[in-house]
Structure 1
Amino acid sequence: MAFADQYGPWALVTGASAGIGAEFARQIAARGVNVALVARRRERLAALGEEIEARHGVRTLAIAADLSEPDFLAPLTEALGARHVGLLVNNAGSGVTGEFLDHDLDDELRMLALNCRAPLILAHHFGARMRDDRRGGIIMLASIAGIVPTPQFAHYSATKAWNRYLGEGLHEELARDGVDVVSLCPGLTESEFFEHANVDPSGWPSPLRASIMNAEDVAAAGLKGLGGKSQVVPGLSYRMLMRASRLAPGGLSPWLVDRVMRFALPSHSDRG
């Protein structure tokens, strides 16, 4: 089945204003599917929508929404109207590095709402229609931090493990109904993350710099993974790392991860 027939006529991409989310929107549009763009920054969404429509000849819809708010679903579905969503990309998320107990609890709860509660609600809402149609797809943005427990990123790591497990479970549940679900687990990726964090990767050791992926390749891996395995880890170096982690007794050492995190990523926060 052609991509647009399986996953169209509309895709909904959260966190679409920049980075991986914006690349998902571009690449989905290139496959002939209209895209609903969801994020907090309306101006960014409008500019991206104009770019996509001019380049790919599909329709777009910009929906400014804060998915960490408890009542986000009603205005989002009202904005969608009768548009039929056949592909959901649960990309929006936030992360805070540093010592967990040094963080504000309200900030951590907002992260939990954005990273876990919102994807749950959206997958349940749109997944029900997909199951009735016996077609569609859901991409859950997890992380290698959701595979390897990550000190200095502890709560974020836990939320990404949650996304990973939900996606992998739904992969099996919905496969019999013709709906494809994949958990996408990228590592370090070029985005606004570094700018917001005031981090300059140019000072990192060359192996760590070389592991930084671009958003285009990460999004492409997620779309390619639809209809395949339940989990996709983009990038050869990260796949080798995950394989080594599985082979090592007790997995990759949290002590080692802690040292890398302390060196590479000083305390900061970032929202997509």
Structure 2
Amino acid sequence: MDQAQFAARYGPWALIAGASEGTGAEFARQLAGIGFHLILVARREAPLAALAGELRGKGATCITASIDLAGPDATQRLLDAAAGREVGLLILNAGADPNGAMFLDGAIDAWDRLAARNVLTTMRALHAFAAPMKARGRGGLIVVGSGACYGGLPGIGVYAASKAFDLVLCEALWAELEPHGVDVLSYVIGRTDTPAHRELLEARGMSVPEGLADAAQVARLGLARLPFGPVCNWGEADDEPGMSATSAAQRRERIRRIAAISAAYSAPAALGRTDR
């Protein structure tokens, strides 16, 4: 799909949560470059304002909202920021794990906040923004995940579990919404060169490793793969298993089979009932 087709299918407004830096900021730059209007959301106001100023200087229309996505009112505040605007593309890019601790070594409040941000707010935002897309018969939803979704890992157990939730929810939504013209992508990325990642490495006394993914390239691929959901694994071909034992293509076909079976069982004739 060319840029004009992409804008027609997913425009005119895109809301990007976790937009202030790194991959989120690159999503914003690339969408601004093809004419999208932008709603930029992040917790920290200063980097968000700097990005908005940069994009406005290049002619982009954008508004900003400082929102704590772990808050109980986060989804309502996202809706308030988007009020009166036709959001055809939702990108949920926030959700890194700032804790760096074993489960029992971390305070439960920290895990509550992580789960609220990555699970509850993600679920609620998808529900809120997908409904009007379905009614219009077009739109796109991207949830940026992590290779941690494919297995429990000590030290990031809650984070991995939350990303597994996001993956499975996106796969189900892809099957539900595909017939209605709405595309869904769980974008599973690996270690990416972002300010947040560098800060985490520095805090742990670790040097920046070679081979980190470039944030601009990561964002570019995510946008390109949106029409081909439900999963894209960064650094892997569609039919190549790597992070998981199954490739994105295999997962796609599995979901198609499950969806077909579910549809057959939900049909009244399949239930063997007669009117009485």
Provide the TM-score with structure 2 as the length reference: 0.81
CA contact (8 A) 2:201 2:208 kept: no
Partner of 2:228: 228
Q: 1:120 to 1:51 in 2, by over 3 A?
A: same
* Contact kept in structure 2, 1:142 and 1:163, CA below 8 Å: yes
1:64 corresponds to which letter in structure 2?
A: S
Give secondary structure in 1 for the equivalent of 2:243: helix
Tell me what 1:65 maps to: 67
Name the counterpart of 1:133: 136
Change (3 A) 1:229 1:74: closer
Distance 2:137 2:105 in 1: 46
**Range with greater deviation from structure 2 (171-180 or 213-222):** 213-222
Moved more, 92-101 or 181-190: 92-101
Aligned pairs for 1:110-259 within 5 A: 110-191=113-194, 192-198=196-202, 199=204, 202=207, 209-210=210-211, 212-236=212-236, 241-242=242-243, 245-246=245-246
Looking at structure 2, the residues matched to 142 and 73 of structure 1 have their Cα atoms a distance apart, in angstroms, of 19
The structure with the larger Rg is: 2
Q: Is the 8 A contact 2:171 2:186 kept in 1?
A: yes
Whichever residue aligns with residue 70 of structure 2, its letter is S
Q: Which residue of 1 aligns with 2:252?
A: none
CA displacement at 1:77 relative to structure 2: 2.3
Give yes or no for contact 2:201–2:207 (8 Å, CA) kept in 1: no
Question: Judging changes above 3 Å, is the alpha-carbon distance between structure 1 residues 228 and 116 closer, same or farther for their aligned structure 2 residues?
Answer: same
Partner of 1:91: 93
Aligned equivalent of 1:25? 28
Identity of aligned residues (%): 38
Q: CA RMSD in A?
A: 2.1
Could you give the per-residue CA deviations for residues 39-69 of structure 1, whole angstroms, max 9, x where no partner exists?
11122111101111222x2200100111111
Higher relative contact order (CA 8 A, sep 6+): 1
Task: Tell me if the contact between 2:198 and 2:208 (Cα under 8 Å) persists in the aligned partners.
Answer: no
- Residue 82 (structure 1) aligned to one of 84, 88, 92: 84
- Further displaced range: 82-91 or 23-32: 23-32
Secondary structure of the structure 1 residue equivalent to 2:143: strand
- Quick one: which of 10, 13, 29 aligns to 2:13? 10
Instruction: Report the TM-score, using the length of structure 1 for normalisation.
Output: 0.82
Give the 3 Å change call, closer, same or farther, for CA 40–176 of structure 1 in structure 2.
same
Aligned to 1:49: 52
Contact 2:193/2:214, CA 8 A, preserved across alignment: yes
Taking the aligned partners of 2:89 and 2:35, their CA distance within structure 1 comes to: 12
SS of 1:241's equivalent in the other structure is: coil
Task: Quote the offset at 1:31 in angstroms.
Answer: 1.9
Once residues 74 and 118 of structure 2 are traced to their aligned partners in structure 1, the CA distance between those partners, rounded to angstroms, is 14
Local SS of the residue matching 1:89: strand
Q: Mind listing any 5+ residue stretches in structure 2 that lack a counterpart?
A: 248-276
The secondary structure found in structure 2 opposite 1:98 is coil
Q: 1:83 to 1:237 in 2, by over 3 A?
A: closer
Amino acid at match of 2:34: R
